[in-house]
Amino acid sequence: MENTIDLIEQQEKLQLSPVQHSAPVSNIIDTTLLNISQNVYQRNSEFYQEQELQYEDKPFIEANTQEISIHHLKNDCIIPVFSKDNEKTIAHQEFIDIAEDCVGKVFPHHSFNQPEIRVSHQIKGRTPDAIYKNAKDLLDHEKTQYFERMAFIIKIPSITDSINGNELSLTVGGVRAYNQENLYNKKTFEKFKFFIGFQNKVCCNLCVWSDGFVDDLRVSSYQELQSKIMNTLTEYNAEQHLLEMKGFSDHYLTEHQFAQLLGKTRLYQHISKTEKHRLGIPQLTFNDSQLNTIAKDYYDDETFCKNDNGDINLWNVYNLFTQANKSSYIDTFLDRNLNAFEFSKGIQKTLNGNSGYHWFLS
């Protein structure tokens, strides 16, 4: 009992929630935990890990992905090269390791979870000595593989806040897609996507916004990749992001407005680019299948469905979109997640009478 009281007292002293501060995330950590001993920090980390067990563990992306361990990437996957000069690419596991190192430097007094890694589009091969074997006769050591697309997240469970009763934890992550590289040429700048934001623990939906997301991070070396990740982490303002999202809870759509919104999103898919430009309609990247999921979840989702009157607040609408986004392929996943935030923000401004998104509710 005394240990439990000690943990609670330490929690109150640490003031871990970034919403209580106006400084960027990196400054928050320095000012809150500078003088805390390692033993107390470890006990507090264990407290948060126990709290996490209350939530069902769901993948942050589904689609055609599979979970994989960092050990498997390092020991069982080959590394693609640029074919004209045989220069190696920055491997998936190296991207993850660099991101982990940056997180450790920006949040030195916080523990973080093991990376959650999802991959897709397996590229198979074989060793030269198995060139004449049938596929069914290949031995394990004669097979080669790598994965064309990879996404990962790293949770920092001791930095949390709550919106509309949903607990959020600070999360960083990235995407690498070799299909966006020209591996048949000489080595040049390599492309990555990286973000820092929050994850809704109730459903494992990611919350990404523009100031914490780099969708075209081009680098030519490990050092450059590390530098750009560090810049993204240190410039991210957690408080502002949370305030933006908390504002969604104060705005509601009636059942009629939601039906109008969803109907217009379906029409959007068939409007020509010229007409979209003429009408000034902002971009919406969700497809018909995902919009069908949103319509279904409006009635059926246990956490984000409509209320008894048919009304739904924009926080729930936003999560219906981010939840439907889990069916996206890895290389479009983060971009659509950002689009969900911008779309919800645009609808919020429309309800306040000032937004280019009024077409969706007109």
Q: Over the stretch 259-271, which tens digit does the pLDDT of each residue have?
A: 999 999 999 999 9
261 lies in the same domain as 229: no
Asked if residue 127 is part of any domain, the answer here is yes
What is the C-alpha separation between 174 and 45, in angstroms, rounded?
24
- pLDDT of 34 over the 90 cut: no
Same domain, residue pair 179 and 282: no
Same domain, 105 and 195: yes
Query: Do 284 and 147 sit in the same domain of this protein?
Result: no
Q: Is residue 186 part of a domain?
A: yes
**Same domain membership, residue 201 and residue 335:** no
Contact 282, 358 (CB under 8 A): no
Q: Which pLDDT belongs to residue 55?
A: 65
Domain final residue, candidates 189, 215, 237: 237
End position of a domain, from candidates 203, 237, 271 = 237
> Does 158 map to a domain?
yes
Residue 314 in this model has a pLDDT that exceeds 50:
yes
- pLDDT surpassing 60 at residue 60: yes
Residue 243 in any domain: the answer is no
Residue type for position 238: A
Same domain for 228 and 308: no
Residue 244 lies in a domain: no
Work out the number of other CB atoms within 10 angstroms of the CB of residue 87: 11
Angle at alpha carbon of residue 135, lines to 132 and 136, rounded to 5°? 120
Report yes or no on 242 lying in a domain. no
Q: Which residue has the higher pLDDT, 83 or 12?
A: 83
- Per-residue pLDDT of 104-143, as tens digits, reads 999 999 999 999 999 999 999 988 888 888 998 889 888 9
Q: What is the pLDDT of residue 355?
A: 77
Does 30 score more than 50 pLDDT? Answer: no
Is 173 in the same domain as 261?
no
Q: Are both 227 and 259 inside the same structural domain?
A: no
Q: Is residue 246 part of a domain?
A: no
How does DSSP assign 156-186, residue by residue? EEEEEEEETTEEEEEEEEEEEEGGGS-TTS-
Confidence label for 54 from pLDDT (cuts 50, 70 and 90): low
Residues 88 and 132 in one domain: yes
User: What's the confidence (pLDDT) of residue 10?
Assistant: 45
* Residue range 142-153: mean pLDDT, rounded: 95
Q: Does 212 map to a domain?
A: yes
Q: What is the CA radius of gyration of the chain?
A: 22
Q: What is the mean pLDDT of residues 306-315?
A: 97
Q: Across all residues in the chain, what is the average pLDDT?
A: 86
Taking the complete model, does pTM exceed 0.85, yes or no?
A: no
* Strands 312-313 vs 252-253: parallel, antiparallel or unpaired: antiparallel
Inform me whether the pLDDT recorded for 154 exceeds 60. yes
Q: Are 214 and 344 contained in the same domain? A: no
**CA dihedral angle for residue 325, residue 326, residue 332, residue 333, rounded to 10 degrees:** 100
Domain boundary among 202, 237, 272: 237
| Domains identified in the chain, total number | 2
DSSP assignment string, 194-254: EEEEEEETTT--EE--GGGEEEEEEESSHHHHHHHHHHHHHH--HHHHHHHHHGGGG-EE-
Percent of the chain with pLDDT over 70: 85
Same domain, 99 and 192: yes
Whole-angstrom distance, CA of residue 174 vs CA of residue 166: 24
Residues 88 and 225 in one domain: yes
pLDDT tens digits for range 204-228: 999 999 999 999 999 999 999 999 9
Q: Which domain holds residue 354?
A: 251-361
